[in-house]
A and B are shown apart, each in its own frame.
Chain A
Amino acid sequence: MSLFLFPPGQDPGPNFADLLARADHSREIGSSNALAEVPHGTTIATLRFAGGVVMAGDRRATEGNIIAHRSIEKVFPADRYSVVGIAGAAGPAVEMVRLFQTQLEHYEKVEGCTLSLEGKANQLSQMVRTHLPMAMQGLVVVPLFAGWDDRREIGRIFTYDITGGRYEEAEFATTGSGGRDARTTIKLGYREGLSREEAISLAVEALYQAADEDSATGGPDPIRGIYPIVTVVGAQGYERLENETVGAYFQEILTRRAELYRGSERT
């Protein structure tokens, strides 16, 4: 490899995706054949609380009616202060996240400062838009983006459509095949200024309900010790909860629900 130096008018600056295009790296991802066979995602739920945002996602990928993977990850740190969750075709989605992560870090290193949260959200929007031709062929990727806005000192949530349209959500958002059930669950329990604990609990409950209704969403798997990914982003930055901690939240739900059913038993 040689050094990437460009004449002034053609310099990509801190834009990594543009650099790749100029450096002639192929960004073709996935193939147009066997579209139905690629692993798909799932359920992602995100909501705001007093000190930031919580984002949680299940671990299942399906190919048609087959469970393709039980422990894939669909929620990723985009950088230290933001998180991105993906639903849709797993291959291109993971690739998009990787490019997005590199893009943010690249900008930060070249410019010596981080992009604003809105800047990051717009970058992701451009990537989704670039992906549109693939989406038209069936490989839809729809991310959810959330993070801590250190200029406004609040957590913010952004949703996308396949054309790269970007919409800010004031309270919560969900995506994926189980998104509707997750959404209803959060809607019932949501209020302004939830605590961190309450927000995590609500996100976990939403995933539980989604997995209960949607076959493409994985529920808690105590036998294998696989639990959904739960992340929190606040002023302290990105944090992913330990598997055991998430397990404990699920255990609480399971106990509660088991009692509910026992109570309704008729003799």
Chain B
Amino acid sequence: MSMPYYVSPEQVMKDRAEYAQKGIARGRALIGVVYDHGILLVAENPSRTLHKISEIYDRIGFAGVGKYNEFDQLRVAGIRHADTKGYSYSRDDVDARSLANVYAQYLGQVFTQEMKPLEVEILVAEIGATADLNRLYHIAYDGTVTDEQSYTILGGDAELLAQRAESIYRSGWTLPEALAGSLFVLAGADRTLGVDDLEVGVLDLKYGRRAFHRLEADELSALLANATPTA
């Protein structure tokens, strides 16, 4: 007769967390930064078509790192959540906090109950009518939500990148400054990232009702030319 073997819950959680972290660390990092007129999202992404950054709703943007199919599924679910909510109530009733909560619940549930946790980290960013209403919700693979005020880093070697960010970030950055800062954080001093390596989106109220705007190659080159190295 075979003995059913026992694994402690602590061990199970630890294994799952390690598995998810490994998966996420394989991909490139992504950063979300608040600048003077909005929120900048910058990802290292060589693909032009498989996006890591996208629009969820009028004032809400989404960014994900890790396994593409998994965060893309979450992205679509987020758009569905926002559109159904805006359709049945009002466009003003769609907010990032409620979306971050449903994401967190789902990720937490998968992490504890499914065989395999989702290998993703996601960011729900919302631009407010005033700067103090800007929101950055960082949601980890296990459903942990953190609410950041100025910047947040997803994936890759997040600790090292966070140190770099801390060393240079200051509030009130203009868009070119924020972009230069983000590139320094993502690439460090030894690497340089060009237009082709980047995917960049902004949330800025100057674009009207739908504040999300993807910066295309020409806009991005123009911005990079303006950006002065900060480090």
Contact = CB atoms under 8 A, between A and B. Distances in A.
A20 B81 CA distance: 11
A106 B83 contact: yes
Contact of B54 (A98, A105, A109): A109
A142 to B, nearest CB: 23
Contacts of B102: 1-3
Interface residues of A: mostly helix, strand, loop or mixed? helix
Interface residues of B, number: 25
A16 B106 contact: no
B39 to A, nearest CB: 18
Interface string B169-207: 000000000000000000000000000000000000000
Interface in B52-83: 54-56, 73-74, 76-81, 83
Contacts of A99: 87
A227 to B, nearest CB: 23
A16 B103 contact: no
A110 B88 contact: no
Contacts of B51: 112
A122 interface: no
A34 interface: no
Contacts of B221: none
Interface of B: 49, 51, 54-56, 73-74, 76-81, 83-88, 98, 102-103, 105-106, 210
16 contacts: A1-B98, A2-B105, A2-B106, A3-B77, A3-B80, A4-B80, A4-B84, A5-B77, A5-B106, A16-B87, A20-B87, A105-B83, A106-B80, A109-B56, A109-B79, A110-B79
